[in-house]
Amino acid sequence: MTIQRFLLNDKRHLIGIMAIDEAGGIGKDGIVPWDNPEDRAFFKAQTMGHTIIVGRKTFESWGRKPLPGRPCAVWTRNPNQFDSHCFDLPLLALSDVYALVEWGFAQSDIVYVCGGKMLYETLWSHLTDLIVTLIPGNWNCDIQMNMDYHAFECVQRLQFETCSVLHWERVG
Ligand SMILES: NC(=O)c1ccc[n+]([C@@H]2O[C@H](COP(=O)([O-])OP(=O)(O)OC[C@H]3O[C@@H](n4cnc5c(N)ncnc54)[C@H](OP(=O)(O)O)[C@@H]3O)[C@@H](O)[C@H]2O)c1
């Protein structure tokens, strides 16, 4: 089960995708503290085949490897430490976040902004959509998102057994 609504029109979509707990937490000690297989499967199905943009710290938490089947753009002040390909996937590391977004759209019409907090906040005003997984409980995270939904409208909800996913579209 994935969100396909934005595939119905031909606009480019820059989509922030994240999972948050009941306290707004997204990360702890450099990783995501929960392991939710339904959300993992949803994230994989939702993003597969599309470009993802990720902050360097989040990329580190993935073991410095791009996710299979998804071109990867890494935001960092030290791009020279990265190769241009990893496991046969194009990989671009830059300090210019807008150049990363343009590169992403050269690969696919849908680009996913996959965190962390610094990257979400930097691109927030440019996001066309938000896909937010609500994770039950308070995981005592050390990184919280102050979600500002005022420019967005919730248009869809997917209910899984162990989490739910909200799709927000920009209206203003
Ligand atoms: N729950 C979720 O959905 C989710 C999703 C993603 C991540 N997370 C969690 O979020 C946490 C990481 O988030 P974070 O906010 O600490 O880090 P982040 O956004 O993943 O990465 C931050 C990095 O971005 C680069 N950066 C920041 N400002 C920059 C600028 N002006 N120019 C160029 N590069 C810049 C820097 O890389 P350099 O230091 O290399 O210069 C900085 O260290 C982890 O706990 C992770 O597990 C959670």
- In three state form, how does the secondary structure of 7-44 look? HHCCCCEEEEEEEEECCCEEEECCECCCCCHHHHHHHH
- At 125, is the pLDDT very low, low, confident or very high (cuts 50, 70, 90)? very high
How many other CB atoms are found less than 10 A from the CB of residue 144? 14
Q: What is the pLDDT of residue 90?
A: 77
State the pLDDT at residue 6: 72
Q: Which atom of ligand 1 is nearest to the CA of 120?
A: 19
Mean pLDDT of 130-159: 96
Strand order across the 129-135 sheet: 85-86, 89-94, 72-75, 51-55, 110-113, 13-21, 129-135, 164-170, 152-159
CA of 107 to the centre of ligand 1 (A): 22
Q: How far apart are the first and last CA of the chain?
A: 28
CA-CA-CA-CA torsion sign (71, 15, 20, 163): negative
The number of CA neighbours under 13 Å toward the Cβ of 2 is 13
Q: Which of 42, 117, 127, 138 to mutate to test the pocket of ligand 1 (most atoms within 8 A of CB)?
A: 117
- Predicted pLDDT of residue 59: 95
Q: 124: closest CA among 106, 102, 101? A: 101
CA of 84 to the centre of ligand 1 (A): 20
- For the cut 80, the answer to whether the pLDDT of residue 84 exceeds it is no
Mean per-residue pLDDT, 61-80: 92
- Containing structural domain, residue 31: 5-170
Task: Judge if pTM exceeds 0.85.
Answer: yes
State the average pLDDT for the chain.
Answer: 93
Say if CB 133 and CB 18 are below 8 A apart.
yes
pLDDT at residue 116, as a whole number: 96
Could you tell me the CATH number of the domain that includes residue 109? 3.40.430.10
Closest atom, ligand 1, to C-alpha of 61:
47
Q: How far apart are CA 76 and CA 162, in angstroms?
A: 34
> How many domains does the chain fold into?
1
C-alpha 28 to ligand 1 mean position (Å): 12
71 Cα: distance to centroid of ligand 1 (angstroms): 18
Nearest CA to ligand 1 atom 19: 116
pLDDT of residue 108: 86
